[in-house]
Amino acid sequence: MRHGFTLLACAAKRFHGGGEAYSNSSTMFRFLKQRRRQRLRAQPFPPAWRSIITGNLPIFRRLPPEDQAELLGHVQVFLAEKHFEGCSGLELTDEIRVTIAAQACLLLLHRATDYYPELTSILVYPSGYTSYEARHLDGNIWDEGGEPRLGQTARWLGSLVLAWDDAKRGAAHPSDGRNLVLHEFAHQLDYEDFKTDGAPALATRAEYLTWARVMSREFAALQSAGETGTSTVLDTYGATNPAEFFAVVTEAFFERPRALRGRHPELYAQLARFFRQDPSRYSAETTTTP
């Protein structure tokens, strides 16, 4: 027994040593990554890219100057790290890449971020596309039919798909409550704690508990509104499941913040705490009624 214990102790020591080596190399990796990102953020922003953002994202002009500068820095990192691919014959342009990146980076302002670490590639179709997926129906029955889509993403997939015409339209109308890019990238934020449960990575257990309490109640209310046909600030598609709920409330938070804050103050407070932003201060929204 003693011998076995010693072997185990040695094995544990070796493992621990390996852990330190791993820890040191991962600390070095993080340091180098952060330094590279700092350099990217500090690079002069290409004037042509800035023209694309000011032309395609009316919300950009409404942001405080310090937020504009932070956003442009994030766009530099995002475009350096993410791979874009055109689908169905779409030829990628700077307009496509920059317009998508700027919207995605709006979700990163004011927070420590690892730039959507689960995401490698963004696939862009010219417009809506058909997604072919085998879906389990019952027993041995599978449905392999196509489903029309504007965008999608999934954990472990490493990619996110967007219809370019809808992504551009979403940027051009910053207060209609709908934004495809914000929706799909909110899903990516949800994955950062390695779960698809509608809760992004929060700092403390107390924050998770409060989040769960508020979101559960709001999710149930949206389900009821969908069943009774009651008018709501939130798209009732959010009642599909908690993950879709988080994506839908993220769209509303950035696009209809005043209406959301007026109708759902606790929900708004939770999102404002997570995103460290108060979009009601810069929103293009003109009315507070749904």
> Would you give the end-to-end CA distance of the chain in angstroms?
71
The CA distance from 236 to 192, in Å, is 25
Q: How far is the CB of 135 from Zn ion (least distance, A)?
A: 16
Residue nearest to Zn ion (CB): 247
Total interface residues for Zn ion by CB under 5 A: 2
Q: Which C-beta is closer to Zn ion: that of 244 or that of 255?
A: 244
Q: How far is the CB of 200 from Zn ion (least distance, A)?
A: 14
Which pair of structure tokens corresponds to residue 57? 């994202």
Q: How far is the CB of 251 from Zn ion (least distance, A)?
A: 10
Binding mask 123-152 for Zn ion (x = CB under 5 A): ------------------------------
Q: How far is the CB of 154 from Zn ion (least distance, A)?
A: 10
Please report which helix (H) or strand (E) contains residue 272, including its range: helix 265-275
Q: How far is the CB of 242 from Zn ion (least distance, A)?
A: 11
As a three-state string, the secondary structure of 99-155 is HHHHHHHHCCCCCCCCCCCCCCEEEEECCCEEEECCEEEECCEEECCEEEECEEECC
CB 238 within 8 A of CB 245: yes
162 near Zn ion (CB under 5 A): no
182 near Zn ion (CB under 5 A): no
Count CA atoms within 13 Å of residue 126 on its CB side. Answer: 4
> Residue 152: phi, psi to the nearest 5?
-170, 160
Q: Which C-beta is closer to Zn ion: that of 118 or that of 244?
A: 244
Q: Which C-beta is closer to Zn ion: that of 73 or that of 238?
A: 238
Binding mask 210-249 for Zn ion (x = CB under 5 A): ----------------------------------x--x--
The CA distance from 273 to 269, in Å, is 6
119 near Zn ion (CB under 5 A): no
Q: Which C-beta is closer to Zn ion: that of 75 or that of 124?
A: 124
Binding mask 25-54 for Zn ion (x = CB under 5 A): ------------------------------
Contacts of 109 (CB under 8 A, 6+ apart): 67, 70, 71, 74, 275, 276, 277
Q: How far is the CB of 81 from Zn ion (least distance, A)?
A: 23
Interface residue list for Zn ion (CB under 5 A): 244, 247
